[in-house]
Amino acid sequence: MSTHDDAAGPSAEDAKLVTLARATRARARADEGAAVRDLDGRTYAAASVRLAHLDLSALEVCVAMAVSSGSAGLEAAVVLTDTEPVLDAVHDFAGSGVPVHVGDQRGTITRSTTT
């Protein structure tokens, strides 16, 4: 996994993922919001799920949505969180080299990394 500061910001396509993640997190009043784009260009946005018997990060929900929709992999991901994101689900599904933009709950991207 590599990490770097994201001075240039996300691409225009990735900025759309930021908007989706931010809106989804706010609508669900969740700790995290995430959005991913699969290899076919389809997007999936989700909020974290915190229930007594189910605890999923927003990225895990996005990956589950992509897998259950028949996606073959991911092109990019965005996660908005105040904690260090766990990228295991993204890596398990899409392998190495997937760009992941990490930002705060307002949608400001603070860094980018890859799986």
What CATH number does residue 50 fall under? 3.40.140.10
Q: pLDDT tens across 89-114, in order?
A: 999 999 999 999 999 989 999 999 99
At residue 3, the pLDDT reads 47
Report the run of H or E that residue 92 belongs to, with start and end: helix 88-94
Host domain of residue 64: 3-114
Q: What secondary structure does DSSP assign to 2-14, as a single string?
A: -EEE-TT---HHH
User: Residue 105 and residue 28: Cα distance in Å, rounded?
Assistant: 13
Q: Which pLDDT score, from 0 to 100, does residue 18 have?
A: 97
Q: Which residues contact 69 (CB under 8 A, 6 or more apart)?
A: 38, 42, 44
Give the chain's domain count: 1
User: Kind of pairing, strands 49-51 and 54-56?
Assistant: antiparallel
What parts of the chain have a pLDDT lower than 50? 1-7
Q: With b meaning 16 or more CB within 10 Å and e meaning fewer, what string describes 84-96?
A: ebebebbbebbee
